[in-house]
Amino acid sequence: MIKGFTRFLQSPGEHIRSLFGPQDASAGNPVLRIIPRQEHPVSRQHFSDAALKVLYRLHNAGHEAFLVGGCIRDSLLGRMPKDFDVATDATPEEVRELFRNSRIIGRRFRIVHVRFGREVIEVTTFRGKPGDDHGDHIAQQSNDGMLLRDNVWGNIEEDALRRDFTINALYYNIADFSIHDFADGVRDIETRTLRLIGDPATRYREDPVRMLRAVRFAAKLDFHLDPASEAPVHELAPLLLQVPPARLFDEVLKLFMSGHGVETFRLLRDYGLFAMLFPEADEAMAQLEWAEPLVERALASTDRRIHEERPVTPAFLFAALLWGPVQLRQRELEDDGMPPIPALQAASQKVISRQLQHVAIPKRFSLPMRDIWDLQQRLPLRRGKRVFQTREHPRFRAAYDFLLVREAAGELAPGLGDWWTAFQDADEHEQRRLLSKVGADPAGTNAPRKRRRRRRKPRKPPTDE
């Protein structure tokens, strides 16, 4: 929490109102509002040294330099900014020349990353309207209106109107510490409203990821979507199928690994967006009653760990998201006579390869995810040396957590999880006792609740004929 913001936070809405004066009535037609330093609570103390260094060096070289986006929005909400984005009239090449520790990245959006140790400051050049005839002129649009490239330079006002939400178009000027509000973003911060700048459907078509960003910010900031920005989402959700899977992977991580996963997941489902990211998982949720609770519990546990600042891995989450489809597929194969172990292998492979067409999961996460799944078959086998091999497996802990989530979601009858909870912490004597208890269970498996049911053809209802 930012120091000195307690008073601001006690009644954030009121405080902003009193700071910024009465609201402009011309809501539909935003005008630039410059809020001088003495009338807003955002101070340089809230910014990292690296961010300030970048701003001052640009300024001293005669360029305009602003902090923009999430860091100003979050500061106004009394939250500690997570990272810093700088907007400037300097071109990427000019920025590159000012900072030795920088490099130009991206094709779709050329931006400069300036690195200070582990911190990276993102510097973007003001962007203009794609059709405008000034500056470096490289913008491309697909037939659906999707922006493929957007490297047309412009001025700050044009730059503001090209941003996604009004609350993300607030600029902090290093020249005089004022905030420039181009789209009534301050009013929307007060009323906790997410509102796209311009015509919502057009803006979603330009970049369908904005629909995911809407959900992410709504969950994270506890904002609501303005009705006009909400209305087209259901219908336009399928546009996400055209977004490159690698970009969606980055976005999915932000959606689920920011400490508000449960709420985000519910919103994604409500808006029909989840099915565009994880179609098979969405279908499995309609068929298996435990599949949705399993994902919610996995997300809740991830959220908890993030708030406790404990490490989290996306592999665990992906394991939960795709376990439903993997189980459906495994059952089918077993029903066709394949033994369980190869059936799980084949099912995993199939589900992953289909999923990769939507969201690219890198190997560094999909391999541990498969380990977590494989271990689900080994956890019930507790005879002889096996139990110690399982215990020593590098992915044991994640697999054990996953087992607990499966039990809690009602996929498995409880029991095995408790056994492993006790076994892990037990001394040698206690471990022997626990192992002898397994001996009493003839299968040695503590078999999961019987879950395989052959699909029968529904009996035809009697007819009059």
Binding site for ligand ATP (CB under 6 A): 69-70, 82-83, 85, 163-164, 168, 207, 209-210
**Residue closer to ligand ATP (CB basis): 208 or 324:** 208
Residue number, nearest CB to Mg ion: 70
Among positions 70, 185, 208, 261, the unique one binding Mg ion when judged by CB under 5 A = 70
Binding of residue 81 to Mg ion (CB under 5 A): no
- Least distance in angstroms from the C-beta of 81 to ligand ATP: 8
CB of 383 to ligand ATP, least distance (A): 49
Q: Which residues contact 194 (CB under 8 A, 6 or more apart)?
A: 165, 167, 188, 214, 217, 218, 221, 223, 224, 225, 226, 229
Task: Tell me whether residue 83 is one of the annotated catalytic residues.
Answer: yes
By beta-carbon proximity to Mg ion, the closer residue of 126 and 420 is 126
Q: What are the start-end ranges of the H helices in 194-309?
A: 200-206, 209-221, 227-230, 233-236, 245-256, 261-270, 274-277, 279-287, 291-307
- Which CB sits closer to ligand ATP, 85 or 190? 85
User: Which of 85, 89, 188, 303 is labelled catalytic?
Assistant: 85
Shortest Cβ 78–ligand ATP spacing (Å): 14
Name which of Mg ion, ligand ATP, none residue 303 binds, using a CB cut-off of 5 to 8 Å depending on partner kind.
none
Among 229, 213, 233, 230, CA closest to 221: 213
The CA distance from 123 to 104, in Å, is: 9
Binding partner at 159 among Mg ion, ligand ATP, none, C-beta below 5 to 8 Å by kind: none
The piece of 1-9, 84-92, 398-406, 433-441 that touches Mg ion (CB under 5 A) is 84-92
* Helices within 118-184 (DSSP H only): 156-161
Residue 252 or residue 409: which is nearer to Mg ion going by CB? Answer: 252
- Please indicate whether residue 303 is annotated as part of the active site: no
Question: CB of residue 120 vs Mg ion: minimum separation in angstroms?
Answer: 11
To the query of whether residue 85 is one of the catalytic residues in this protein, the response is yes
Compute CA distances 402 → 138, 222, 317, 320, whole Å. Answer: 48, 29, 9, 8
What single letter denotes the amino acid at residue 432? R
Alpha-carbon dihedral angle through residues 193, 198, 200, 202, given to the nearest 10 degrees: -160
Separation CA 92–CA 58 (nearest Å)? 12
The option from ligand ATP, Mg ion, none interacting with 168 (CB < 5 to 8 A, set by class) reads ligand ATP
In the complex with ligand ATP, the residue whose CB is nearer, 261 or 325, is: 261
Choose the one of Mg ion, ligand ATP, none that binds residue 181, judging by a C-beta under 5 to 8 angstroms depending on kind: none
* Residue with the CB atom nearest ligand ATP in the bound state: 70
Catalytic residue among 83, 132, 136, 441: 83
Nearer to Mg ion by Cβ, of 70 and 130: the residue is: 70
- Supply 65's token pair: 């330099």
Catalytic residue among 164, 184, 226, 401: 164
- Say how far apart CA 146 and CA 127 lie, in whole Å: 16
Give the shortest CB-422-to-Mg ion separation in angstroms. Answer: 45
Nearer to ligand ATP, 69 or 380 (CB): 69
H helix or E strand, kind and range, residue 124: strand 119-125
Helix (H) or strand (E) holding 60, with range, is helix 49-60
d(CA 391, CA 380) in angstroms, rounded, equals 12
Tell me the Ramachandran region of residue 460: left when phi exceeds 0, alpha when psi lies from -120 to 50, beta otherwise: beta
The least CB distance from residue 354 to ligand ATP, in Å, is 26
The closest alpha carbon to 275, from 202, 325, 314, 319, belongs to 325
Q: How far is the CB of 66 from ligand ATP (least distance, A)?
A: 11
Using CB under 5 A as the criterion, which residues of the chain lie in contact with Mg ion when the complex forms? 70, 83, 85
What residues are annotated to the active site? 83, 85, 164
